Chains A and B, each alone.
Chain A
Amino acid sequence: MTSRLILIAAALVGVTIGIGAYTFVYARGYSYLTDDPAACANCHVMRDHYTAWTRASHHAVAVCNDCHTPPSLIPKYVTKAQNGFWHSFYFTTGRYPDPLRITRRNHEVTELACRKCHMELAESIDPAHTDTGRGGLTCTKCHNDAGHLE
């Protein structure tokens, strides 16, 4: 009796793993582990942002992950996992506002990303503005179309 139950359980676990694997492949889940910008536009909501990026000045030097994830490995994948989960959650339920707005945390990631390459420039501006960085003066306040053409 018990062994029959174990068989049923094993079969169901197998089926679930199978469907899960299929879903992962079907939804191109593996692509999210890459740096390919096209992966971010798997989901239709991001298409406009993707298109705008292809036409912006930075598209030759930076892909999505360069500006939207922190540089080192663990923070990068934590950010990816976090955004991946919430994006999937909201896009699946459909309960999210239009137009999309970057979250506070993601905006800070992006702000730091500007400084990865433009640190010298940013440092010479910072002393004049006591409110730079978090919440105050940010690079994107003026250079809003650097990443995505409006």
Chain B
Amino acid sequence: MWTSLGWIAWAVSAVLILWMFWDFITINRSFGEDVLLSSREGVDELFGESSKAKGN
């Protein structure tokens, strides 16, 4: 049983890594670079939504 744990660990790793690669390829095919690279720095409120109500 203990020896097979190692093989199970390899198998789980392979499944997770393959799933991530499958999703990675799907997303890269489904969305253009203009969408995927659209994130911008400095567009966030420093003190959250609540600060707007307080007029900060």
Q: Are chains A and B native binding partners rather than an unrelated pairing?
A: no
Binding site for A on B (CB under 8 A): none
